[in-house]
Amino acid sequence: MLASRFVSTVILAGAVLAGSAAHAADQTSPAAPAAAANAATPAPPSPAAMSAADQLLIAMGVKESIANTVPKMMTEFERNVTATRPEIRDSLRATLTAIKPEFDKSAVATYAKAEALLALSMSEKDLVDVAAFFNSPTGKKYLAIEPLFFQKLQDVVGPWSQSLSTDIVAKAREEMKKKGVDF
């Protein structure tokens, strides 16, 4: 369920970021591409924007998902290895415990990148507003139904997409055949 929520959250975040990028692209002047090419790397987000992005990512479950990735992967790795080599369970578990802090640091660094990416993608006010929504009773209700909604949506969109693909090929062939082209 949490993995499904993480995927849904990533999809939602991608949609938000894509929409924000498209909006920004619509707002640029024709000279903007040349200026952007000559511009240095963007200024780092403000501490307030980073804080707002953090609150939003927490509300969306992204922080928890990233934090749980290392332990889940290590547990899965241990289960897979010890299924065929049960005699090394204790040694492997000790090894994984010893190396876990190194990988936990990578999870923290990944979260910081996600936080900065979001903080740079939306205005501080928008981040605060969206985080407030997700922390509101209505936003919490949305987050609660979101995984099931996306699962049900896939149940609707998946078959439609498959049917659409077949229908497009059939209709295109039919119309091209009328023009004397067979493929």
Distance CA 151, CA 156 (A): 9
Sequence-distant (≥ 6) Cβ neighbours of residue 13 within 8 angstroms: 60, 62, 118
The one-letter amino acid at 68: N
Distance CA 127, CA 40 (A): 24
Distance of CA 28 to CAs 24, 38, 44, 49, 124, Å? 7, 15, 20, 22, 19
**Where are the domains positioned within the chain?**
2-9+44-135
pLDDT at 14 over 70: no
> What was the pLDDT predicted at 39?
56
- Residue 62: how many other CB atoms lie within 10 Å: 23
pLDDT, tens only, 29-59? 444 455 544 556 778 899 999 999 999 999 9
> What was the pLDDT predicted at 43?
85
pLDDT, tens only, 122-161? 999 999 999 999 999 999 999 999 999 999 999 999 999 9
